[in-house]
Chains A and B, each alone.
Chain A
Amino acid sequence: MKFRSLIFANLFRKKVRLTLTIGSFAIALVLFTFLAVVNSAFSRGIDIAGADRLVIVNRIGLIQTMPISYDDQVRAIPGVKFVTHDHWFGGVYQEEKNFFPQFVIDVENHRKVYPEFIVPDDQWNTFVKDQQGAIAGATTAKRFGWKVGDRIPIKNSLYGPTKTWEFNLDGIYHTAKADGDQGQFWLQWKNFDENVPAVVKSTAGWYILKLDSPDDAVRVAKTIDAKFANSSYETKTETESAFAAGFAKQFGNIEFLILTIGSVVFFTLLLVTGNTMAISVRERTGELAVLKAIGVTDGTILFLVLAESTVIALFGGLLGLLLAWVAIPVISAAVTGLLPPLLLSKTMLSLGLVFAVFVGVVSGLLPGISAMRMRVVNALRRV
């Protein structure tokens, strides 16, 4: 590119201003990337939800249970391939801050419904035979330094007086995808059912069913809810993605919040870079007039301004993404248990870069167009 030396020479003309602009851009982009990562973390459950899975919850709310007898009744509905059920355990390992989700699972059907959770067969078979057994996700096991064979004490006060439940860690599961949820802790429903008060016995927190075909989803959901209508335990059946979205919304309207803050960040970036370019162009009115006088076309003038703003945005963007890449794993580790794992994917990095370039181009447009439209005679008169 013939004008490269002019673009870079102009760029480094005011080094302090350039540094401050790039710094502002980088910090804003770190914030923007962090928000995008949080949003992605909350919607990850929705993204990975199986299209052929339905979730049945008590119509009153998620914390209300349903009879275990629903299992067979649901299984009998045409189009239902497998049924399994979960229960929220809600215990505390050592102290409150060590939060991780603990599910009481149905060992017979869990793997059939959730093939994406991978447990080595020998570990699974040990778990099935061991009523006090447990399986932990790789992330949680790593977090607490657990290994297979460890004894895990978990204090629980949700079901009767506070007591410590002891579990044998029989296995560790992974997920097929790297960004899958590897933070859960599973224990056996049989063990749970024997040790909870009568009021909780023979109940399930929610049911998950796998369908023969996603096309059956609406029909099966309607059939289930109609079947249990007007009973003591009315149901609400929805697709797994709708369930995950509803679950995420319990934390507030994350998407709206992130969109709002993201928009503010976006416009701040536009203003910061646009302002820098506007000042820079105003300072160089005479020089731009000379360039036009010697035959530089309006299009090239616009290109020079846009190239400059884009390079600023690109530098700021790269710095911001680098900072985000370093900071997000640290933040993720610090908020483990409070938020889902925060992962900065390559796609997000690429999108961040595209976003930076977009902001660069847009912020340079107005000053660029004004430079392009500048009348040489008037501009030279001001020199």
Chain B
Amino acid sequence: MIRVDGQGSGKSLIQVRGLTKTYRRGGEEIQVLQRLNLDVDKGDFVGFMGPSGSGKTTLLNLLGGLDVPSQGSITVDGDEITHMSGSKLTQWRARHVGFIFQMYNLIPVLTAFQNVELPLLLTKLSKAERRKHVETALNVVGLTNRMNHYPRQLSGGQEQRVTIARAIVSDPTFLLCDEPTGDLDRKSADEIMALIEELVANHGKTVLMVTHDAVVAARAHTTLHLDKGVLVEASKLEQGVVAGGVA
């Protein structure tokens, strides 16, 4: 169950309370996120939409522990991450977050196998165990036969599949997808979305996804709109009701 009113049960996988992010640019204070609340349960698939500069990526960065909020708290699976030190946050990311980027961001000099293996190098798994995990992840994304290919030898869709395999290989608590289909044609985008849906449906993954594409967003369980720093459920947007009481 996804809520943006801050009235969640307290048992949600991800709880965001009063999240505010402010930047200073040339002496001017820009409030990107304003007292934002969010509850996401395990197995939810949330899509974030909004115009450019609305704070979608900032929200994703905060949820992924890549940035720290100006105010408010983020609790994931009982861990409040907003007050963690830099090194603790790094360790937390390795354990709990799987990132899927628009531009894939694979290491070009490593093969698909080696790229997927990267997060496992931070664990104590043996080489044989790592191989097993990597093969499983590549099997999930349907790229077992391309594991020794370099990113330049793969299509955009295949590269994104490798990114997804890298994101899921360490079995993180949730996946953060920043425009996962933004650089793909419609067919490849459909395939990637089908794969993400499968991860949610068959593997119980929790996915938070930012997208500009309404077609892609429609495949999420719930689509939230971010505008002027506040979150609004798509269904309520039509009724003119805005979470947090700001119309």
User: What band does the interface of chain B fall in when counting residues whose beta carbon is under 8 Å from A?
Assistant: 20 to 34
Least CB distance from B37 to A in Å reads 22
> B122 on the interface (CB 8 Å rule)?
yes
Digitize A339-383: 1 where CB-to-B-CB distance is under 8 Å, 0 elsewhere.
000000000000000000000000000000000000011001001
Residues facing A in B83-141 (CB within 8 A) are 86-87, 90-91, 93-95, 99, 101, 103, 105, 107-110, 114, 118-119, 121-122
> A48 on the interface (CB 8 Å rule)?
no
Q: A5-B110, A6-B107, A296-B122 are in contact. Are A377 and B90 (CB under 8 A)?
A: no
Which of A13, A289, A294, A380 is in CB contact (< 8 Å) with B118?
A294
Question: Does the CB pair B99–A5 fall under 8 Å?
Answer: no
Task: Tell me the nearest residue of chain A to B103, going by C-beta.
Answer: A383
> A267 on the interface (CB 8 Å rule)?
no
Digitize A312-350: 1 where CB-to-B-CB distance is under 8 Å, 0 elsewhere.
000000000000000000000000000000000000000
Note all chain A residues with C-beta closer than 8 A to B109: 6, 9-10, 12-13
Q: With the chains together, A9 CA to B64 CA distance in Å?
A: 28
Question: Does the CB pair A6–B91 fall under 8 Å?
Answer: no
Which of B87, B101, B108, B118 is in CB contact (< 8 Å) with A297?
B87
B contact face: mostly helix, strand, loop, or mixed: helix
Q: With the chains together, A289 CA to B101 CA distance in Å?
A: 12
> A71 on the interface (CB 8 Å rule)?
no
Task: Tell me the nearest residue of chain B to A10, going by C-beta.
Answer: B109
Q: With the chains together, A289 CA to B103 CA distance in Å?
A: 13
Q: A9-B110, A287-B107, A383-B105 are in contact. Are A293 and B99 (CB under 8 A)?
A: yes
Residues facing A in B191-226 (CB within 8 A) are none
> A281 on the interface (CB 8 Å rule)?
no
Task: Tell me the nearest residue of chain A to B167, going by C-beta.
Answer: A294
Q: With the chains together, A9 CA to B121 CA distance in Å?
A: 16
Q: With the chains together, A71 CA to B191 CA distance in Å?
A: 103
Q: With the chains together, A273 CA to B16 CA distance in Å?
A: 47
Question: Does the CB pair A293–B121 fall under 8 Å?
Answer: no
Note all chain B residues with C-beta closer than 8 A to A5: 110, 114
Note all chain B residues with C-beta closer than 8 A to A290: 99, 101, 105, 107
Note all chain A residues with C-beta closer than 8 A to B1: none
Q: A10-B109, A296-B122 are in contact. Are A377 and B67 (CB under 8 A)?
A: yes
Task: Tell me the nearest residue of chain A to B105, going by C-beta.
Answer: A290
> B154 on the interface (CB 8 Å rule)?
no
> B61 on the interface (CB 8 Å rule)?
yes
Question: Does the CB pair B93–A293 fall under 8 Å?
Answer: yes
Note all chain A residues with C-beta closer than 8 A to B121: 2-3
Q: With the chains together, A9 CA to B110 CA distance in Å?
A: 7
Question: Does the CB pair B110–A380 fall under 8 Å?
Answer: no
> A286 on the interface (CB 8 Å rule)?
yes
> A295 on the interface (CB 8 Å rule)?
yes
Task: Tell me the nearest residue of chain A to B91, going by C-beta.
Answer: A295
Which of A9, A12, A287, A294 is in CB contact (< 8 Å) with B94?
A294
Note all chain B residues with C-beta closer than 8 A to A292: 90
Question: Does the CB pair A286–B105 fall under 8 Å?
Answer: yes
Note all chain A residues with C-beta closer than 8 A to B103: 286, 383
Which of B64, B66, B101, B110 is in CB contact (< 8 Å) with A6?
B110
Least CB distance from B153 to A in Å reads 15
Question: Does the CB pair B90–A296 fall under 8 Å?
Answer: yes
Task: Tell me the nearest residue of chain A to B109, going by C-beta.
Answer: A9
Q: With the chains together, A298 CA to B91 CA distance in Å?
A: 11
Q: Which of B67, B90, B91 has the most CB of A within 10 A?
A: B90
Note all chain A residues with C-beta closer than 8 A to B107: 6, 9, 287, 290-291
Least CB distance from A74 to B in Å reads 73
Least CB distance from B58 to A in Å reads 8
Note all chain A residues with C-beta closer than 8 A to B94: 294-296
Question: Does the CB pair B90–A380 fall under 8 Å?
Answer: no
Q: Residues of A with Cβ closer than 8 Å to B?
A: 2-3, 5-6, 9-10, 12-13, 286-287, 289-298, 376-377, 380, 383
Beyond A293-B66, A295-B90, 8 extra complex contacts between A and B, CB < 8 Å: A10-B109, A290-B101, A290-B107, A293-B93, A296-B118, A376-B66, A380-B105, A383-B101
> Could you pull out 14 A-B pairs where Cβ atoms are within 8 angstroms?
A3-B121, A6-B107, A9-B109, A286-B103, A286-B105, A287-B107, A287-B108, A293-B64, A295-B91, A298-B86, A376-B66, A377-B61, A383-B101, A383-B103
